Amino acid sequence: MKREEIDVLLMRAPGTNCDLETVRAFRDLGVRAHLVHSQRVFKAKNLLDYDILVFPGGFSYGDYVRSGAIWAKEMEYRIGKEIAEFVDTGRPVIGICNGFQVLVETGFLPGFEGRSPEPQVALANNSHGYQNRWIRMKNIGKGNCEMLRGVPEGQVIACPVAHGEGRFIMPQDKTEEWLERLYDQDQLVFRYVKGDGGYAEGSWPENPNGAYHDIAGICNPEGNVLGFMPHPERAYFGYLMPEWTKKGRPDEYGDGRVFFESIVRYVEARF
Amino acid sequence: MKFNAKVYVSLKKGYSDPEGETTANALRGLGYTVDDVRASKAYEVSFQAEDEETAEAVLDEMCRRLLTNPTKDDYSFEIREVR
């Protein structure tokens, strides 16, 4: 598929943010990015007109009940069937921050046996309250998440987090078993790391929210549904990186570009 | 029949509760002897159901489907008929 024919759907809802940054990142890569209010999508039910589906960050519906819960349930009863069909086609579904919370609440992540009717894991309230800071994360995937094959294994990406609920936890009686399962099925994609690339090992602020095992992002067993708390779109251009003033001039692109480039290249080659 | 319910949602024991811990620290700062605080959320739900048994079942389903994430939350509710 030609790059200029790739259509990305970014759904927005009351309270989402960073949607424009994400649109800009995709458009910079030469694909068509469409920012559409979720109510329009609910009416049109035309998800299959798009090649990539993105749930952006923010605080949909004011984070009422739990982050992402209301939007997730709305999605479930309005276009649950359409989203499931989209996922089944193997096309990429990406949840950034609030989008990750939505994918957990809709049961698509971790989705050990396909979509679960109730959330299997949780993104609980942070150990240190709301965190808006730069972090580093490392791609530890082995290739199951094909859309990220363009991000070299072990590559550290610096980008911001901005959330109050992002502490990845699993049921207490299944935590160790499921961690093994995440590794076995190559579903662990991003972990928080320190400046030297070593894992944060739960230490704050490198692990900004107290996430179990420094987990920042996971994918489904099939690898095409991906969710993570950090915001690579806020690190797409060089002038968004925090230390460019030390160099006098910013680089053209920041750490976040490799992430978007990888997804676009994957869709170009696969579909 | 009309029912009114109060639903309480709190983090399961064993998970750290930063909001509760911070609140406990603040209360201690104010001079109170506080062993522990667990933060919780409360909802008041008014709804209709055929009978009390059905009302309990429906409310329980509401809790599991939206008001809680079963991974991390415990919940309880009090339900009463409104005449």
Confidence at residue A62, expressed as pLDDT on a 0 to 100 scale: 94
- A114-120: average pLDDT: 94
Number of structural domains, chain B? 1
**Which residues span the domain enclosing B24?**
2-82
Confidence at residue A46, expressed as pLDDT on a 0 to 100 scale: 96
Q: Is A146 one of the catalytic residues?
A: no
Q: Which amino acid, A195? A: G
CA–CA distance, B31 with A87 (Å, rounded to integer): 55
Residue numbers in A near B12 (CB within 8 A)? 172
Instruction: Look over chain A and give the mean of its residue pLDDT values, rounded to a whole number.
Output: 96
Rounded to the nearest 10 degrees, the angle between the axes of helix A69-88 and helix A98-105 is 70
Q: What percent of chain A has pLDDT over 70?
A: 100
pLDDT tens, residue by residue, A47-77: 999 999 999 999 999 999 999 999 999 999 9
pLDDT class for B75, splitting at 50, 70, 90? very high
pLDDT tens, residue by residue, A201-215: 999 999 999 999 999
CB contact under 8 A, B14 and A172: yes
Three-state SS annotation for A54-122: EECEECHHHHCCCCCHHHHHHHHHHHHHHHHHHHHCCCCEEEECHHHHHHHHCCCCCCECECCCCCCCE
- Between the alpha carbon of residue A77 and those of residues A70, A195, A245, B75, the distances in Å are 11, 43, 48, 24
pLDDT class for A88, splitting at 50, 70, 90? very high
Whether A188 has a pLDDT exceeding 90, the answer reads: yes
pLDDT class for B2, splitting at 50, 70, 90? very high
Whether A153 has a pLDDT exceeding 90, the answer reads: no
Confidence at residue A268, expressed as pLDDT on a 0 to 100 scale: 97
pLDDT class for A127, splitting at 50, 70, 90? confident
Q: Which SS3 state, helix, strand or coil, does residue A212 take?
A: helix
Do A164 and A133 contact (CB within 8 A), yes or no? no
- The answer to whether B61 faces chain A, any CB pair under 8 Å, is no
- A115-131: average pLDDT: 92
Residue numbers in A near B25 (CB within 8 A)? none
**Domain A3-270, what fold?**
Rossmann fold (3.40.50)
First-to-final CA distance of chain B: 8
pLDDT tens, residue by residue, A154-175: 899 999 999 999 999 999 999 9
Q: Which SS3 state, helix, strand or coil, does residue A218 take?
A: strand
Would you give the distance in Å from CA A259 to the centre of its chain?
Answer: 10
Residue numbers in A near B64 (CB within 8 A)? 118
Confidence at residue A106, expressed as pLDDT on a 0 to 100 scale: 96
pLDDT tens, residue by residue, B39-69: 999 999 999 999 999 999 999 999 999 999 9
Confidence at residue A171, expressed as pLDDT on a 0 to 100 scale: 96
CA–CA distance, A153 with A62 (Å, rounded to integer): 36
Write the CATH number for B9.
Answer: 3.30.1280.10
This model of the complex carries an ipTM of 0.89
Rounded to the nearest 10 degrees, the angle between the axes of helix A257-270 and helix A19-28 is 60
Q: Is A233 one of the catalytic residues?
A: yes
Whether A1 has a pLDDT exceeding 90, the answer reads: yes
Long-range contacts of A192-196 (CB under 8 A, 24+ apart): A192/A135, A192/A136, A192/A137, A192/A216, A193/A136, A193/A137, A193/A138, A193/A156, A194/A136, A195/A136
- The answer to whether B2 faces chain A, any CB pair under 8 Å, is no
Q: Is A145 one of the catalytic residues?
A: no
